[in-house]
Structure 1
Amino acid sequence: SEDVLSKDAGECAICLEELQQGDTIARLPCLCIYHKGQVFLRLHINCIDEWFEVNRSCPEHPSD
């Protein structure tokens, strides 16, 4: 599901950038969160969407 982060939450395991309050995130069923629709240095980043183009599992829980 898509949401807006209410507080800082460490780093995105895909792009390694910080997940910061106000960022648009995707929350997977396993409750892991990743950037969704972020703008970083004028580049549009959709970490989880790009990940799912080549993988169908959570980056942190590949066996689930």
Structure 2
Amino acid sequence: MDNLESEHVAEIDSRYAPIVSNNETADYHEQLMAGANTPRGEMDDDEFQYGEPPRVFYDNMDSLDAVPELLGLPDDIISQFPVTDFDAAAAETWNEDAKQCSICLDAYEQDQLIRRLACTHGYHKGCIDEWLSRSTVCPICKFDYRIMM
């Protein structure tokens, strides 16, 4: 390794020293890097020590579990939006886009249950109920209903 590479490696090591704070992690990293510099298939099994990854690997995996699930609206808020039966005769004057559910893209049929949000956009009841259980925004206008929580 020439002097410039050594300086670069030393600089990187110093930046990550707080992260790689124990010898187990550093040894594991050195083994991985040694294998990265050999042509594929030329590293013998006895040159690399297989075993448990360092604890820091598992700590990072545990932190992924701490990420919250997709947050939608609670059922008691979703149920506050009115539900009506679709009336095909009354919908004759509607815009064509308003005659279909923007979530599943199926046309509304007579007497299907339509849930209308406060922003006036309507959807099949089942489609919007599932949507709002995973998201807090209207699929069309993106109005955020977290203000109701």
TM bracket (short chain): 0.7 to 0.9
Alpha-carbon RMSD across the aligned residues, in angstroms, is 1.5
Higher strand proportion: 1
Change in CA separation of 1:3 and 1:63 when aligned onto 2, cut-off 3 Å: closer
Q: CA deviation at 1:21?
A: 2.0
Gaps of 5+ in 2: 1-81, 92-97, 145-149
Q: Is the 8 A contact 2:119 2:143 kept in 1?
A: no
In structure 1, how many angstroms separate the alpha carbons of the residues matched to 2:109 and 2:133?
24
Partner residue of 2:116 out of 15, 23, 27: 27
* Aligned match of 1:17: 106
* Aligned match of 1:3: 84
Gaps of 5+ in 1: 37-45
Higher helix proportion: 2
Change in CA separation of 1:22 and 1:53 when aligned onto 2, cut-off 3 Å: same
Aligned length: 55
- The structure showing larger relative contact order (alpha-carbon pairs under 8 Å, at least 6 residues apart) is 1
Matched, 1:47 2:136: no
Partner residue of 1:61 out of 114, 117, 141: 141
Misfit runs of 4+, over 3 Å: none
